[in-house]
Amino acid sequence: MRSPKLDPNVRALLDQIAALGLPPMETLTPAEARLAASNRDPAIMGPPQQVEHVQDISIPGPAGGIPARLYRGSAQPGRPGMVFFHGGGWVVCGLHTHDVICRAIARQAEAAVVSVDYRLAPEHQFPAAVDDAYAAVTWVADHAADLGIDPARLTVGGDSAGGNLATVVSILSRDRHGPPIACQALVYPVTDLSSLDTPSYIEFAEGCNLTRAMMLWFRGHYLAKEEDALHPHASPLRAPDLGGLPPALIVTAECDPLRDEAEAYAVRLEQAGVPVLLRRFDGMIHPFFSMSGAIPQGAQALRMVAMTVAAAHPTDC
């Protein structure tokens, strides 16, 4: 049964998807799930926006080259920059599935966006994705001038699992005295893999696209052992200290199991003295941010992220 809180457009879209009779993701192998994720309906994602320049690149990483894609929304040097980490539960998705999102951010922010194709689980379990993410941010900061980026205006961000990686990279950069990050742009980030029993997990366990069963499937592939869920680099909500982190935009969806942990992270940041802009989109589901072609609020959230990137400075977003 569908939640009465769902936006009518979202409800209609979910009914259309249900009519296809696709198997639940948690019944698939990772390879099957990746194929399904790569076959998303382009009409739902929206048309790809034209940008000044697109280039596939390779970033040196701890296990070899990390595939990445550079988008330039403007030919002018010294533009704001973003290192973007895609969602997909650390198991599925990649550069192709989030191409529309990165193009939109680059164009609307007139920024340079580097989308990172970090290693996926279960072939590469935690902390492989974290290691790749931090290596990518360090490399982008070191090569900012070559990429057309003002190093003082670098944002990290992503959706879902990618939002998780962006939070962890921000913590690592603080703790390791790494590259300065001006801002975090987090879209329904995973912040606590140790607990799947928040009120939003209970209320939206089924029927709103992302399910509790899917999250268990993702977690089981990502973590090599159960106790890894307690590590702050897997569950940043459990980090003992969130002070000194970059200002953050946090976008949540009302009808999303991840809503409460993302909003709890916003509260923790505020308590630590970090400036936070929290925006909940009522009636929305995970992953409405990737559905701007069918859901207007997806385009609104994209615009918010792009404007955050455009406005990022060392002191605020």
The number of domains in the chain is 1
Q: Could you tell me if 223 and 154 are in contact, meaning their C-beta atoms sit under 8 angstroms apart? A: no
Lowest-pLDDT choice from 1-5, 241-245, 301-305: 1-5
The answer to whether position 256 is within a domain reads yes
The answer to whether position 316 is within a domain reads no
CA separation (Å) from 197 to 180, 211, 212, 236? 35, 12, 9, 17
Q: Count CB-CB contacts under 10 A for residue 54.
A: 17
Task: Give the mean pLDDT of 202-215.
Answer: 96
Active site residue 256: yes
The answer to whether position 243 is within a domain reads yes
Q: Is the pLDDT of residue 123 over 70?
A: yes
Q: Is the pLDDT of residue 15 over 80?
A: yes
Q: Is the pLDDT of residue 315 over 80?
A: no
The DSSP bridge pattern shows strands 64-72 and 112-116 to be antiparallel
Helix, strand, coil percent content, the chain, rounded in steps of 5: 40, 20, 40
Q: Is the pLDDT of residue 289 over 80?
A: yes
- Identify the CA nearest to 315 among candidates 269, 274, 278: 274
The answer to whether position 232 is within a domain reads yes
- Identify the CA nearest to 310 among candidates 267, 249, 263: 249
Share above pLDDT 90 across residues of the chain, in percent, rounded to a whole number? 94
Task: Give the mean pLDDT of 198-205.
Answer: 97
Q: Count CB-CB contacts under 10 A for residue 265.
A: 28
Say what the pLDDT of residue 76 is.
87
Task: Give the mean pLDDT of 121-150.
Answer: 97
Strands (E), 125-272: 149-159, 183-187, 248-255
Catalytic one of 86, 286, 290, 292? 286
Q: Could you tell me if 290 and 298 are in contact, meaning their C-beta atoms sit under 8 angstroms apart? A: yes
Say what the pLDDT of residue 2 is.
84
- Report how far residue 158's alpha carbon sits from residue 173's, in angstroms, rounded to the nearest whole number: 16
Active site residue 160: yes
Q: How confident is the model at residue 316 (pLDDT cuts 50, 70, 90)?
A: low
What is the domain range of residue 17?
Answer: 8-311
Cα Rg of the chain, angstroms: 18
The answer to whether position 281 is within a domain reads yes
Q: Give the CATH number, domain containing residue 286.
A: 3.40.50.1820
The answer to whether position 306 is within a domain reads yes
Catalytic one of 86, 132, 150, 160? 160
Mean pLDDT of the chain: 96
CA separation (Å) from 251 to 22, 31, 196, 300? 28, 29, 19, 11
218-240 residue pLDDT tens? 999 999 999 999 999 999 999 99
The answer to whether position 317 is within a domain reads no
Task: Give the mean pLDDT of 86-100.
Answer: 97
Helix (H) or strand (E) holding 129: helix 128-142
Task: Give the mean pLDDT of 75-96.
Answer: 95
- Identify the CA nearest to 38 among candidates 117, 126, 124: 117
Q: Could you tell me if 73 and 106 are in contact, meaning their C-beta atoms sit under 8 angstroms apart? A: yes
Task: Give the mean pLDDT of 250-258.
Answer: 98
135-144 residue pLDDT tens? 999 999 999 9
Tokens 């090569």 correspond to 143
Say what the pLDDT of residue 39 is.
86
The answer to whether position 111 is within a domain reads yes
Q: Is the pLDDT of residue 317 over 90?
A: no
Q: Could you tell me if 150 and 112 are in contact, meaning their C-beta atoms sit under 8 angstroms apart? A: no
- Report how far residue 132's alpha carbon sits from residue 62's, in angstroms, rounded to the nearest whole number: 7
- Write 225-229 long-range contacts (CB < 8 A, 24+): 228/126, 228/193, 229/193, 229/194
Q: Could you tell me if 84 and 111 are in contact, meaning their C-beta atoms sit under 8 angstroms apart? A: no
Per residue, the 3-state secondary structure of 26-58, as one string, reads: HHCCHHHHHHHHHCCCHHHHCCCCCCCEEEEEE
What SS3 class is residue 148?
coil
Active site residue 175: no
Catalytic one of 117, 132, 256, 260? 256
User: What is the number of alpha carbons within 13 Å of residue 232 lying toward its C-beta?
Assistant: 14
